[in-house]
Chains A and B, each alone.
Chain A
Amino acid sequence: NAGVTQTPKFQVLKTGQSMTLQCAQDMNHNSMYWYRQDPGMGLRLIYYSASEGTTDKGEVPNGYNVSRLNKREFSLRLESAAPSQTSVYFCASSERGQGPNEQFFGPGTRLTVL
């Protein structure tokens, strides 16, 4: 099992460009999450999907949209990138509703917006 995979690993955008970060998990998990990580800020939740067909805002959703394409895939879209969105983005998944909520993380996408 690959666990949680993310593409691309690195990306450089110009201000105003758009892009989609892809995430897939092969653990049959119900819940998926997108976080951003900035120096000294820890992990902040952007959006999550508690189950297929639902999405909810997290702590920092502005400037982002998400799509839960199916149970395996959860994408994050930046419609008009801004320098403030330079960050490392992590996708995670978990088996909701079965006790402890351990989340499994992907390797991250390092995004720079110029």
Chain B
Amino acid sequence: GESVGLHLPTLSVQEGDNSIINCAYSNSASDYFIWYKQESGKGPQFIIDIRSNMDKRQGQRVTVLLNKTVKHLSLQIAATQPGDSAVYFCAETLSGYSTLTFGKGTMLLVSP
């Protein structure tokens, strides 16, 4: 399997539970945030994004919450499935900049 998961915070849930993955971002000026999912042996895949003028955004089974006061992002996954098992990264940037700054990631393990 992929070694990227070593030393990462891990969240273990049962299938059907709701999962909440947290991220503390570093730059108070950041105004755009993305959540990525990385399955074992693959590259990161976009899940959902949010701009700083919003505090909540919903997708299919996923919701991102943004708290700018404490520089905190969370990703909520409803009715978690075994296929959701992966490492989840948050990333931040300033609009107009090319580069993203990634967090260290959280491993989500979903058991049937």
Q: Which residues of B contact A48 (CB under 8 A)?
A: 98-99
Q: Is the CB of B100 within 8 A of A101?
A: yes
| Interface residue range, chain B | 20 to 34
Interface 9-mer from B39-47, B64-72, B75-83: B39-47
Chain B contact residues, majority secondary structure: loop
Q: Which residues of A contact B105 (CB under 8 A)?
A: 42
Q: Which residues of A contact B103 (CB under 8 A)?
A: 42
Q: Is the CB of B6 within 8 A of A43?
A: no
Considering only residues 27-55 of chain B, those with a C-beta below 8 Å from chain A are 32, 34, 36, 41-46, 49, 51
Number of residue pairs spanning A and B whose beta carbons lie under 8 angstroms apart? 67
In-complex Cβ contact of B3 among A4, A39, A96, A104 (8 A):
A39
* B46, B51, B100: residue with the most chain A Cβ atoms closer than 10 Å: B100
Interface residues of A, count at CB 8 A: 30
* A58, A90, A103, A107: residue with the most chain B Cβ atoms closer than 10 Å: A103
Q: Which residues of A contact B4 (CB under 8 A)?
A: 37, 39, 88
Report the minimum CB–CB distance from B74 to chain A (whole Å). Answer: 17
Q: Which residues of A contact B11 (CB under 8 A)?
A: none
B95 at the interface (CB under 8 A from A): yes
Contact A42 B89, CB 8 Å, known A100-B32, A107-B42, A108-B42: yes
- Cα of A33 to Cα of B4 in the assembled complex, Å: 19
Report the minimum CB–CB distance from A98 to chain B (whole Å). Answer: 11
Report the minimum CB–CB distance from B27 to chain A (whole Å). Answer: 14
A53 at the interface (CB under 8 A from B): no
- Cα of A38 to Cα of B36 in the assembled complex, Å: 17
- Which residues of A come within 8 Å of B, CB atoms? 4, 31, 33, 37, 39-45, 48, 50, 58, 88, 90, 92, 94, 96-97, 99-108
Given contacts A31-B98, A108-B42, 4 further A-B contacts (CB under 8 A): A39-B3, A100-B34, A100-B95, A101-B98
